[in-house]
Amino acid sequence: MLREKSKERIILGIDPGTSVMGYGLVKEVKSQVELICMGVVKMDHLDDHPSKLKHIFEKTVALIDQYHPDCLSIEAPFYGKNIQVMLKLGRAQGVAMAAALSRGLPIFEYSPRKIKQSITGNGNAVKEQVASMLKTLLKFTESPEFLDATDGLAVAVCHSFQKMTAGPGNKKSYSGWDAFIKDNNKRISGNPSKDGTKKAG
């Protein structure tokens, strides 16, 4: 690809959600990262969960077809006390990943803590801190209506930063369904992890 020869790369970052999905796109030129766009996909007008999943898939494919990213960086679902919320977030993430795989994009998955650590230096940073640091890093002033937009952007920037700090355990990547299924056999088959609380990413 031309972008590979010129050492350019476009990264699509997604923060999955079933009410609002945040996304951001950045262009990486050598060690520089530039903002392309960010935004949200709202789904609160949709009544049922399958319709929301369909909407996530279609919007993710549309973003890929419009901006032609080289990869997808996505936030892994976190394990919380509400199992139903966790399951819905996992489905939302899976559908976005399926959309990327349908277009042949490699996928990189990061934990929420890893993303915050990469952007702010603090794995426990709040959304506002992440947004503020992104404004400084990418030199933009507008504040999005939803912080989900900057959350999506943070996932993309986090992946860009990994090439400079790459090391074991920093990310999980999937180049296709076979690789994803092999690494996530327990998640797909419904078998719990050994301690039942393992985080993805």
144-160 per-position pLDDT tens digit: 888 999 999 999 999 99
Catalytic annotation, pick one of 28, 109, 148, 151: 148
The topology under which CATH files domain 2-180 is: Nucleotidyltransferase; domain 5 (3.30.420)
Q: Is 140 exposed, middle or buried (0-12, 13-18, 19+ CB in 10 A)?
A: middle
- pTM, two decimal places: 0.79
Q: How confident is the model at residue 185 (pLDDT cuts 50, 70, 90)?
A: low
Q: What is the pLDDT of residue 188?
A: 45
Q: Is 151 a catalytic residue?
A: no
96-152 pLDDT, tens per residue?
Answer: 999 999 999 999 999 999 999 999 999 999 999 999 999 999 999 988 888 999 999
**pLDDT-derived band at 77, boundaries 50, 70, 90:** confident
C-alpha to C-alpha distance for 62 and 64, rounded to whole angstroms:
5
Catalytic residue among 15, 28, 109, 151: 15
Q: In the annotation, is 128 catalytic? A: no
Is 75 assigned a catalytic role?
yes
Domain ranges of the chain: 2-180
